[in-house]
Amino acid sequence: SQQGEEDPQALSIQEGENATMNCSYKTSINNLQWYRQNSGRGLVHLILIRSNEREKHSGRLRVTLDTSKKSSSLWITASRAADTASYFCATFQTGANNLFFGTGTRLTVIP
Amino acid sequence: DTAVSQTPKYLVTQMGNDKSIKCEQNLGHDTMYWYKQDSKKFLKIMFSYNNKELIINETVPNRFSPKSPDKAHLNLHINSLELGDSAVYFCASSLVGENTEAFFGQGTRLTVV
């Protein structure tokens, strides 16, 4: 399967805490992207990290990429109730003209 | 001024019917996609179109057919609907190239009864 896997499947934290989500994939990639999906809505792009990058920041988001381990992590610092959503990693795979999505992590931030 | 818009948002229909879902993007993107999200939230690529040319078809039954009248539109037509087709279908678009993000529509929740 070209689909990646994320863990945990679900994560519940208190507001103000940091959240960490992990993504593993199987094939060679050009880049890895993280998306957010609020309940009943479409996906929204958060951040893109290229295969030759190891770390990237965007506001309260931090993403790392380890191509040797075929894994990525997304950190959300100082979480807020509004961060409650599902988070998906997606890989743009070498030789493919498409994004393949992971299984998602459901994050709940408790006020 | 919605970037990627899909209609309808909800679609309830009986088995055996034929239905279409429309998608339009006003971003000037060259590539459009259809994804299926099942009840477990797995997102699976169905089709992508680049300048009216189908470039990916991921083992989707031929009851599903994408139709692109122009590069701003990619409609999804489904023949002989089955119960297993019930899912949320997302349209998306992006620029050509590997380091670009995809923009998604709000989804169409299809329920086959």
B43-86 tens-digit pLDDT: 999 988 887 678 777 688 999 999 988 889 999 999 999 999 99
User: Is any Cβ of chain B less than 8 angstroms from the Cβ of A101?
Assistant: yes
Q: B102–A99: do the CB atoms touch at under 8 Å? A: yes
Tokens of B78: 């489904």
Chain B neighbors of A96, CB-CB under 8 A: 56
B1-30 tens-digit pLDDT: 679 999 999 999 999 999 999 999 999 998
Q: A45–B98: do the CB atoms touch at under 8 Å? A: no
Inform me whether the pLDDT recorded for B88 exceeds 90. yes
With b for 16 or more beta-carbon neighbours within 10 A and e for fewer, the B81-112 pattern comes to beeebbbbbbbbbbeeebebbbbbbbbbbbeb
Inform me whether the pLDDT recorded for B107 exceeds 60. yes
User: Is any Cβ of chain B less than 8 angstroms from the Cβ of A19?
Assistant: no
Inform me whether the pLDDT recorded for A2 exceeds 70. no
Q: B98–A44: do the CB atoms touch at under 8 Å? A: no
From B40, B56, B90, residue closest to A98, measured CB to CB: B56
A58-64 own/partner pairs: CB under 8 Å, 24+ apart: A61/A34, A63/A32, A63/A34
Q: pLDDT value at position B1?
A: 62
Q: A97–B4: do the CB atoms touch at under 8 Å? A: no
A58-107 tens-digit pLDDT: 999 999 999 999 999 999 999 999 999 999 999 988 777 788 898 899 99
Tokens of A43: 């996906």
Q: B45–A99: do the CB atoms touch at under 8 Å? A: yes
Residues 6+ away with beta carbon under 8 Å from B60:
B46, B47
Q: pLDDT value at position A103?
A: 87
Q: Taking CB atoms and an 8 Å cut-off, how many pairs form between chains A and B?
A: 61
C-alpha to C-alpha distance for B75 and B79, rounded to whole angstroms: 13
Q: Mutating which of A93, A98, A106 best tests the B interface, going by the most B Cβ atoms within 10 A?
A: A98
Write the single-letter amino acid at B68.
S
Chain A neighbors of B97, CB-CB under 8 A: none
C-alpha to C-alpha distance for B30 and B65, rounded to whole angstroms: 19
- CA B66 to chain CA centroid, nearest Å: 8
